[in-house]
Amino acid sequence: MLTAVLSLSGALVFGAADFLGGLAAKRVSALLATAVAAVSGFVLLFALLPLLGGEWNAHDVLWGAISGAIGCVGIGLLYACLAIGPMSILSPTTAVVSAIVPVLYGLVFAGERFDAIGYWGLALALVAVLLVGFVPERGAVRPSLRGILMAVGSGAAIGGFYIAVDQTSDESGIVPLILNRGVNAVIMFAAVGAVAIVAAQRARVRARANVLATGGPDEPRMPRADRSALATGIRLAVACGVVDAVANALLLFGIRAGDLSIAAVLGAMYPAGTILLAAIVLRERIAPVQWVGLVLALGAAAMLAVA
């Protein structure tokens, strides 16, 4: 029961974090938004450590760091495949794979077993994940093999995050999440730095060409509107990181309260939080197929709660 409640709650909060991250990425680069979110999440979790507690040991620190690296791979591939499109196919593909990988691990390697209602609940939850993650698109084309492989890779990496976190001990508290956010921040800021260096080199080349063409250097300044958008994007990214840290904590406690399979498949319902917030805040329409998915998700959660 507790695993179902915590995991589904974590999924909805994750969806809220994705919503904030999407708003931030419209104002700053997706890389910078992700990096800033990782730092703010790290700061929050570190500040909460004295309250929530957690023992530091090599085993849990290692698995926390591994989960952070795997998470970066999953998010990077997710952004890449969604950029290729179509989102209507690749987004639910990622979500379903991210649920299937931990479920298979839990059933095959961790020896998790359920009553009949539990297996039916898992199957219903996977269908719900597929429907909730469906993004209606007009004129969507058939996905490329590259896009499908990236979606599968992203889902497998996100599923790997669940498995890695499941390896940590209960005594470690939120320590693995602190390492997760820390490693994530280092990797993402390294990526931001690499992109900035490449952009600066290209800017110097253009400036040199401008000097040769006009006889004088051009000194562009960032417009005030762009500075305002940057500041807003950073604030949204900070809020995204805080909400994301809360979601990670809920899912971690959900995994530790029960079975990895239940926690992972309900955690994959994160698109539900995004589409609900988009409907409330941005007045976006929820597609009928997504409403069906939301209803099935609630039914699956109830079945898994009593499994």
CA-based nearest residue to 181, from 238, 259, 235, 234: 238
* Residue 274 structure tokens: 């995004």
Is 142 or 197 the better-scoring residue by pLDDT?
Answer: 197
Residue 25: the pLDDT is: 82
d(CA 174, CA 22): 26
**pLDDT score recorded for residue 225:** 60
Percent above pLDDT 90 for the chain: 37
* Tokens coding 159: 């599923």
pLDDT in tens, 220-235: 555 666 778 888 989 9
Q: Where are the alpha helices (DSSP H) in the chain?
A: 2-25, 30-52, 58-84, 87-108, 116-132, 145-166, 175-214, 224-257, 260-267, 271-281, 288-305
Residue 64 has pLDDT above 70, yes or no: yes
Where do we find the tokens 């700053």? 28
Q: Residue 57 pLDDT more than 70?
A: yes
Determine the pLDDT at residue 139. Answer: 64
Q: Which of the pair, 217 or 142, is modelled with greater confidence?
A: 142
pLDDT at 214 over 80: no
Interatomic CA distance for residues 113 and 102, integer angstroms: 14
Q: In 1-29, which positions are buried (b, 16+ CB within 10 angstroms) versus exposed (e)?
A: eebbebbbbbbbbbbbbbbbbbbbbebbb
Give the residue from 270, 44, 101, 62 showing the smallest Cα distance to 183.
62
Of all residues in the chain, what percent carry a pLDDT higher than 70?
Answer: 93
Given a cut of 70, is residue 112 above it in pLDDT? yes
pLDDT of residue 221: 57
Please return the burial class of 230, using the count of CB atoms within 10 Å of its CB with bins 0-12, 13-18 and 19+: middle
- What is the per-residue burial (b if ≥16 Cβ within 10 Å, else e) of 273-288? bbbbbbeeeeeeebee
Quote the pTM value: 0.84
Cα–Cα dist 176/172, whole Å: 7
Instruction: Convert the pLDDT of each residue in 89-100 to its tens digit.
Output: 888 888 889 989
What is the average pLDDT score of the chain? Answer: 86
The whole-number pLDDT of residue 222 equals 55
> Rounded to the nearest 5 degrees, what angle is found at the Cα of 134, between the Cα atoms of 128 and 138?
155
Residue 164 token pair: 């890695």
Cβ count near 112 (within 10 Å): 16
Give the pLDDT score at 216.
54
Looking at the predicted structure, is the pLDDT value of residue 264 above 70? yes
Query: Three-class SS string for 92-154?
Result: HHHHHHHHHHHHHHHHHCCCCCCCHHHHHHHHHHHHHHHHHCCCCCCCCCCCCHHHHHHHHHH
Span 35-57, average pLDDT: 92
Mean pLDDT of 105-132: 88
What is the distance, to the nearest Å, from the Cα of residue 144 to the centroid of all Cα atoms in its chain? 23
- Mean pLDDT to the nearest integer, 64-83: 87
Looking at residues 10-15, what average pLDDT do you find? 89
Cα end-to-end span (Å), the chain? 8
Q: Who wins on pLDDT, 131 or 228?
A: 131
Domain boundaries, the chain: 2-305
The model's confidence at residue 46, banded by pLDDT at 50, 70 and 90, is: very high
Band (215; pLDDT cuts 50, 70, 90)? low
